[in-house]
Amino acid sequence: MLRSAALARFGVEVLDELGIQSAHVLGASFGGAVAQQMAFSYPRRVRRLVLASTSFGGFAMPGNLQAFWHFIRPRSYHPERLERVAGAMFGGRLRTEPELVRSMHIRRPTDTMAALYRMAPLFGWTSLPWLWAIGQPTLVIAGDDDPVTPLVNHQVIATLMPRATLHTVPGGGHLVMLDSAPQVGPLITRFLQGSAVA
């Protein structure tokens, strides 16, 4: 089982392989934890950081239990059922436009243990003690209808990180990068270009 630190190291090894000294790093959901770890452990390799629909791990406000149940239950991912539960599972536009899930290529876990194994690197991990030490300019993006990673977790991250800005997407869900792409895409572009974001 790979831990967040090992996955962050893997990210740096990818940069090494490509001959890239430093890069902007975007992490969504679990990827946000890896991005935080990478920015902390290898600060010279990360120029700007974008964190979407994520948390700081241990001690964070947990998500909705119904959403978690659907996440770990393979039956929830069957095409016919996924459209019925997508709103409860991910929130956001999928509550009113569940058919959007058809184009999102969400991978079904083989069984419940496999689903839990996906989350295993987060068990026992938290960035809370060292968020203050992440000095890169950071954009934190959160949907206000995210049943997986509640908004308060993003507020904590943005408060503790010295150069972080929080942007809340009204009506955005856990898949805010997809369900609110027209709002989020230009925002990220402006941020990575060094412009101020509201």
The 10s digit of each residue's pLDDT in 109-124 is 777 776 666 666 666 7
pLDDT confidence of residue 120: 61
Question: Annotated active-site positions, please?
Answer: 29
> What span, in angstroms and rounded, lies between the C-alpha atoms of 63 and 91?
11
31 in helix, strand or coil? helix
- Write out pLDDT tens, residues 122-136: 667 899 999 999 999
Is pLDDT larger for residue 194 or for residue 156? 156
The SS3 assignment for 3 reads: coil
Question: 51, 13, 49: which is closest to 33 by C-alpha?
Answer: 51
**Residue 149: CA atoms inside 13 Å, Cβ hemisphere, count?**
29
CB burial of residue 125 (10 Å; 0-12, 13-18, 19+): middle
Q: Please give the pLDDT value at position 45.
A: 97
Whole-model pTM?
Answer: 0.90
**What would the pLDDT profile of 65-121 be if each residue is shown by its tens digit?**
888 888 788 888 887 889 999 999 999 999 999 999 888 878 777 777 766 666 666
| Mean of pLDDT over the chain | 90
Domains of the chain: 4-62+125-192 (3.40.50.1820), 65-117 (no CATH)
DSSP state of 78: S
Taking 50 as the threshold, does the pLDDT of residue 58 lie above it?
A: yes
